Amino acid sequence: MLEAKLSEAAILKRLMDAVKELVSDANFNCNEEGITLQAMDNSHVALVAVKLDAQGFKRYRCDRTIPLGVNVGSLTKVLKCAKDDDICILKAGDDADILTLTYESKNTDRIAEYEMKLMEIDADTLGIPDTDYDASVTMPSSEFARIVRDLSVLGESVRLEVSKEGVRFVSDGETANGNILLKQTAEAGKKKGSKPAKKVKKDAEDDDDDFEGVRIEMNQAVTLTFSLKYLVNFSKSSSLAKKVQLMMSNDVPLLVSYEFNQGYIRYYLAPKIGDD
């Protein structure tokens, strides 16, 4: 059986708010290491991967691997019934067709219990290849959200250019163009040195959690074009983490990664080819 106790319902609420625009149904795969979710959007342009580590829960028990097939929209509605600071307990039996969510108020004796029907979802877990990316940009998630939101008003696509100059976001609309350049913060250069990283791996850890500027590691210049609609959706995860990491290589899907205490949410987005 599964029993997972979160100290705050806010984490799950924010995760589902970020995922619901991309996927309608998905499997939560639960095992002794934690809970994972992986799903592609209907157009097969974007993939989202979520992990909640077992040690991040207040209490966690999962005797064997259990897939929980959920309708993301329905789960989002049930989670809206919880306050952000409510304790949230997830329970399901080994062959359960019901997921039980219990919300315990921290300040009162209020206990609310909801039951949600589970679904059988036949979805293959995709193997995400280990990629040595050519460029990595770490920046405040609020700044990333602002940039993609502002540029989405002008056009449908954004061109990301990473060079020695910095990272540039360019959107060419029918009536107006936007061009935003973020230079590497001086402190980042001092801490990391001026040489580009020989390898930039997707699990690269930021060694300074308090650093709030822009950090760029680059093996070679990268220029890719992406749909702004998807990036705006991804940026909704800024409520989960102060920083976002963009990992890029030419002709390879963009990785947008938000790491938080409980685990991570990562998005993979295929680049646009030609004038699409």
In a domain, 229, yes or no: yes
Task: Give the DSSP letter of residue 190.
Answer: H
pLDDT-flagged residues of the chain (< 70): 123-127, 129, 187-211, 274-276
What is the tens place of the pLDDT at every residue in 89-140? Answer: 999 988 779 999 999 998 888 999 999 999 988 766 666 767 889 999 999 9
Say if residues 222 and 165 touch (Cβ distance below 8 Å).
no
What is the tens place of the pLDDT at every residue in 55-71? Answer: 999 999 998 999 999 99
In sequence order, the 6+-apart residues with CB closer than 8 A to the CB of 31 are: 62, 64, 65, 66
* pLDDT at residue number 145: 97
**Which single residue is written with the structure tokens 């602002």?**
146
| Domain identity same for 50 and 24 | yes
| Domain identity same for 16 and 62 | yes
In a domain, 255, yes or no: no
For residue 29, give its domain range.
Answer: 2-117
| Domain identity same for 140 and 112 | no
| Domain identity same for 39 and 63 | yes
| Domain identity same for 107 and 172 | no
* pLDDT at residue number 94: 80
* pLDDT at residue number 126: 67
In a domain, 56, yes or no: yes
End-of-domain residue from the set 53, 87, 117: 117
Say if residues 132 and 204 touch (Cβ distance below 8 Å).
no
In a domain, 262, yes or no: no
Distance CA 105, CA 82 (A): 9
Task: Give the DSSP letter of residue 219.
Answer: S
| Domain identity same for 50 and 110 | yes
End-of-domain residue from the set 87, 117, 147: 117
Which CATH number covers residue 144?
A: 3.70.10.10
* pLDDT at residue number 128: 73
Q: How many residues does the chain have?
A: 276
Residue 225 corresponds to which tokens in the numbers above?
């074009």
Distance CA 247, CA 255 (A): 5
b or e along 128-153 (b: 16 or more beta carbons within 10 Å of the residue's beta carbon)?
A: eeebebbbbbbbbbebbbebbeebbe
| Domain identity same for 136 and 29 | no
* pLDDT at residue number 208: 52
Backbone angles phi, psi at 140, to 5 degrees: -60, 135
Type and span of the H or E element at 243: strand 243-248
- Helix pair 10-19, 72-79: axis angle to 10 deg: 150
Distance CA 105, CA 86 (A): 5
| Domain identity same for 99 and 137 | no
If one counts the domains in the chain, the total is 2
Which CATH number covers residue 26?
A: 3.10.150.10
